[in-house]
Amino acid sequence: MPLGIVVTDLDGTLLDSRHELSQVDRSTLEELGRRGIPRVVATGRSLFSARRVLAPDAPIDFLCHSTGGGIMRWADQAPLRVVNMPQPDAAQLASTLAARRLDFTLHFAIPDNHHFYVHRVRSDNADFERRCQHYAGYGRELRLPLAGDQPMAHALVIEPPPQVRLHLDLKAALPGFQVIRATSPLDFVSTWVEIYPRGVNKAAAADWLWAQAGGGGRRLAVGNDFNDIDLLDWADLSFVVGNAPAELRARYASVRSNDASGFSAAVEQALASG
């Protein structure tokens, strides 16, 4: 069967270490467009953050931002789907995380989820402070209990190593939410745990788009980190780039690194296999 959709992670996968799109990968995306194959970027970045690294003329068809909480048609920037959590759920989430004495941010509803509340406990969490500083001016102190009636998008917990079980503990404590593990894109060793409304993930967003396109053809996914696992497991053809953790390279087919246009290598293999 021919390819029916191509879905790629953004940072560390489609973009190189300078957060740029190589000419090779741009050409690959353009060729997919000529073939009429939907091109989807699925990223944990908010829409605000994704626009910092994706040009308006980027050769993609759809952007799944906020780990799939928002889906946008890229050409005209039209929002197609948004999922936020109701205020009571957000209040419960904030109270649970605070009771566990975790450093976390609680983000406003999509598309304004680059604004956030900050709950700070530790004084030695350098990656958390780096993340907050990166978006200086968009954060404000969280006051509990969470008041008001506004929905929220998600929470982000940041813990320095060796908190390798943190995401498993939070999954058990928060059965009504989607708990997703990621590696820090800032220091590359801290654990980030993203917490979204139940059912929000990259795979669900990709599947929604695939169904909208008719659900035909093989599904290709390319990723580089643990927050891509649901997407990689959803696809018919899955690849991780060479800079992915060894655990993922042992689990999925591996191609060149993001700095060597690994995305294009994955697409080439997928097209050749069809």
Q: pLDDT by residue (tens digit) across 28-80?
A: 999 999 999 999 999 999 999 999 999 999 999 999 999 999 999 999 999 99
**Strand pairing category for 191-197 and 177-183:** antiparallel
Segment 109-129 mean pLDDT = 96
What is the reported pLDDT for 274?
Answer: 73
Mean pLDDT of the chain: 96
Residue 142 has pLDDT above 80, yes or no: yes
Residue 195 has pLDDT above 90, yes or no: yes
Domains and CATH numbers, the chain: 3-83+201-273 (3.40.50.1000), 87-197 (3.30.1240.10)
String of b and e for 168-205 (b: at least 16 CB within 10 Å)? eebbeebeebbbbbbbbbeeeebbbbbbbbeebbbbbb
What is the reported pLDDT for 109?
Answer: 98
CA distance 207 to 196: 17
Task: Label residue 1 by pLDDT band (50, 70, 90).
Answer: confident
What is the reported pLDDT for 82?
Answer: 98
CA distance 270 to 274: 7
Bridge partners of 94, per DSSP, are none
What is the reported pLDDT for 156?
Answer: 98
By the 10 Å C-beta count (0-12 exposed, 13-18 middle, 19+ buried), 162 is classed as exposed
Residue 193 has pLDDT above 80, yes or no: yes
Contacts of 139 (CB under 8 A, 6+ apart): 105, 115, 116, 117, 118, 132
Segment 132-147 mean pLDDT = 95
Segment 107-129 mean pLDDT = 96
Residue 238 has pLDDT above 90, yes or no: yes
CA distance 47 to 64: 9
Segment 162-170 mean pLDDT = 85
Segment 254-268 mean pLDDT = 98
